[in-house]
Amino acid sequence: MTPMTPADIARIDREHIWHPYSSMTAPLPSYQITHAEGVHLQLADGRTLIDGMSSWWSVLHGYNHPTLNQAVRDQLDRFAHVMFGGLTHEPAARLVQTLVDITPEPLKKVFLSDSGSVSVEVAMKMAVQYWQAKQKPAKHRFLSLRNGYHGDTFGAMSVCDPVTGMHHLFNQVLMQQLFAEAPTCRFDEPCRPEHIADFRKLIENHAGELAAVILEPIVQGTGGMRFYSPQYLRQVRALCDQHDVLLIADEIATAFGRTGKLFACEWAGIAPDILCLGKTLTGGYLTLAATLCTEDVSDTICRGEAGVFMHGPTFMANPLACTVANTSIELLISNDWQSQIGRIEAGLRAGLAPARGKPYVADVRVLGAIGVVELNAPVDMATITPAFVAAGIWVRPFGKLVYIMPPYIISDAELATLCSAMLGVLDQCIGGG
C-alpha cells in the first residue's frame, strides 16, 4: 500500500472526513499525527506536542506503551475476534473477574459492550427491564442532574442536561426525563439540606414513575467539569433506597483513579445498583465498555417476561480489547497509581495557581488528575487551538472550560511545561498579553 503524503491526507480530511462536533462548511484545522510516544504527539510537520487530554481522558499509561503493545500482538496471534453469543474466552473471563473484584460491592454481573454511550444505553435498558419484571411498568423514566453528560446516543442524550448537554436540537424526539438542579456544594464543602432540596422533591414526587437516577459521581464532566460534595452523593443513595429507585453511576470519565480514588463512588463510600465504565478501560487502545449490576438487578430481569436481557452488540467482549483492558488494569494497580495521582494533583495545583485572580478567569479547580480553568466567556476555538499547538501542547477546550487531564505517566517537568504553556496561551489570546 503506497503511503499517503501529508497533502493527500489534508485534502481528504478537508473534503470528506466529518470530525466530531465539527462543521463540513466551516471546518477547523485538523493536525496530522504521525507518531505518539509517552505523553507526546508527533505532528506531520515535525513538531511535538505534550498531550494534556489523554485522548479524551482515555490514555492512562501514555502512548505506544510496550507492555500494552505486546499484549495486543500476543492476542492477535491467537484470534482477533469471535462472537460472544454462545461462545466465551479467557480475556473476557479474566476482565470480568477483575472488574467484579475491584468495583464496589455488591456489583457482581458484567455486560460488555462497545463504547461509553452504549454502556449507558445498556444501563437504562437494564433499569426498565428490571421494573417490567417486577410488574411495575410505570417506572420507566429517569432522573438526572443538570450539567450532566452521558453520551451521544438517543437514550444517553435523553438524560444529558437538555441545555448544556449539547443535544437540545433533539429535545422534541427524545424521551422526556426529569432533571434536578446541579449540585452547588463543592467537593470540599458539606451538603446542606438546601443543596439537595430540588433532587429530594423530584424523587419524592415522581418515585412511582422513576426507573432510576443516573449521575456522574463527584465529577460532572463534559457538562461543566464541576466537582461536588461526596455528601451529596451519599444522600442521593439514601433517597434512592428510601423511594425504591435504582441508582446508575456513570463512571465512564472518572473510573480507574482519575479523581484520586479507583472509582469516584468511593469518595462517598457508596455503591450503585448499576455502574457504567468505558474510556480508560483499555488504556485508550481499543473501544470497550462495561455495565455492571447487582445480582438483584440481573436475577429480576431474567425472571421477567423475556427471560433474558435484551441487548447484544456484535463486537461485545472483543478479545483484543479485553486483553489490553486486562493489561492496562494490571499496569495501573502495579504502578502505585495513588502516588501518581497525588503527584499530578500537586503539580496541577501549583501550575494552575497563577490563573487565580486574573480578570478573565471565573474559577480554578483541581481534583486528582483533573485541572480546570473556567473562563468568564467561551473561547474562540479557531484562535486558541493553533495557539496551543504553537506553544507545544495539545489542549481541547469546550465553551468556557479550559481543562487538562494528562496521562498518569507525565513527569513533573512535562506537567509544569503543560500548565505554563496553557496559561501563557490564555494570557495571549484572552488576557491581551
Catalytic residues: 21, 149, 250, 279
How far is Cα 283 from Cα 61, in angstroms, rounded to an integer? 6
The secondary structure element, H or E, covering residue 12 is helix 6-16
Task: Decide: 54 and 41 in contact? Cβ < 8 Å.
Answer: no
The secondary structure element, H or E, covering residue 204 is helix 197-206
**370-375 and 393-394: which strand pairing?**
unpaired
At 87, list the grid cell. 461462545
The residues with which 48 forms a beta bridge, in sequence order, are 42
Q: Give CA separation, 29 vs 19, 42, 53, 300, 390, in Å.
A: 10, 16, 18, 50, 13
Task: Decide: 323 and 71 in contact? Cβ < 8 Å.
Answer: yes
Q: How many residues does the chain have?
A: 433
At 136, list the grid cell. 411495575
| Type of residue found at 264 | A
How far is Cα 203 from Cα 46, in angstroms, rounded to an integer? 55
How far is Cα 24 from Cα 299, in angstroms, rounded to an integer? 47
100 phi, psi to nearest 5 deg: -65, -40
How far is Cα 256 from Cα 326, in angstroms, rounded to an integer? 12
Q: Give CA separation, 362 vs 184, 349, 358, 365, in Å.
A: 15, 16, 8, 10
Residue found by looking up cell 496559561 in the block: 423
Helix/strand/coil for 313: coil
